[in-house]
Amino acid sequence: MSEQNDTQTIRDLVDRLTRLHAAEEWNGPLNPSQFAALSYLARANRFSRAPSHVADFLATTRGTASQTLKALARKDLIEETRSETDKRSIRYDVTTEGRSLLSAPSELDDVVSRLPAEVAASLAGSLKSLVLTMLHHRGGRSFGICNTCRHHETDGTKGYCRLLQVPLTASETSQLCHEHAS
């Protein structure tokens, strides 16, 4: 197969997979953008849940992200928390109802879980490479898992972020971080 055909095939397959997954998300009370924002917030650490972080992760405008977050708040799936030190700064936390909505496995989850381990690992590595390369070209952030970041330190049971100079809970070290650096 030629390089041009490979590119077109990959583009078509990624697009089709995305559309199939988004169509499944429409079957519930959320549109795909709302579902993506809620899913991101549920996986993001406490430093990565501001409206601007959601916009960066979803590759959308801050205005669009703000409207999406307001819709999720009206549905009681997230709640706004203002910073104690800077009242202008807010973050969103997923409510119990929001976590419940996300707990149902999707058809994509089911299909991926049935792949042989080596196929799933290869696919994950290839897609990660594709996403990171696109982000690099666009100047975007990787939003990686905290414990894979060069700023992450551990003393066995706890983590520490050298960049933000804060201790991390055990659960935070396995969450998405806006400040992630490879």
Q: What DSSP designation does 178 have?
A: T
Query: Domain span at residue 176?
Result: 142-182
Number of domains in the chain: 3
Block residue for tokens 């989850």: 109
Look up the CATH number of the domain holding residue 7.
1.10.10.10
10 falls within a domain: yes
Contact 141, 55 (CB under 8 A): no
The pLDDT, as a whole number, for residue 166 is 87
61 falls within a domain: yes
On whether both 67 and 119 belong to a single domain, the answer is no
126 falls within a domain: yes
DSSP β-bridge partners for residue 136: none
Mind listing the pLDDT tens digit of every residue in the chain (182 residues)? Answer: 566 788 999 999 999 998 888 888 776 788 989 999 999 999 999 889 999 999 999 989 999 999 999 999 999 999 999 877 777 789 999 999 999 999 988 899 999 999 999 999 999 999 988 988 888 887 777 778 888 888 888 877 788 888 888 888 888 888 888 888 87
The pLDDT, as a whole number, for residue 174 is 86
The pLDDT, as a whole number, for residue 23 is 83
On whether both 20 and 33 belong to a single domain, the answer is yes
47 falls within a domain: yes
Pairing of strands 90-94, 152-154: unpaired
Torsion sign (Cα): 157, 161, 162, 165? negative
Please list, in sequence order, all residues whose beta carbon lies within 8 angstroms of the beta carbon of residue 107, skipping any fewer than 6 positions away: 20, 21, 24
User: What is the C-alpha to C-alpha distance for residues 29 and 35, in angstroms, rounded to an integer?
Assistant: 9
109 falls within a domain: no
The pLDDT, as a whole number, for residue 143 is 79
The pLDDT, as a whole number, for residue 157 is 72
On whether both 69 and 154 belong to a single domain, the answer is no
> Helix 51-58 vs helix 62-74: angle between axes, to the nearest 10 degrees?
110
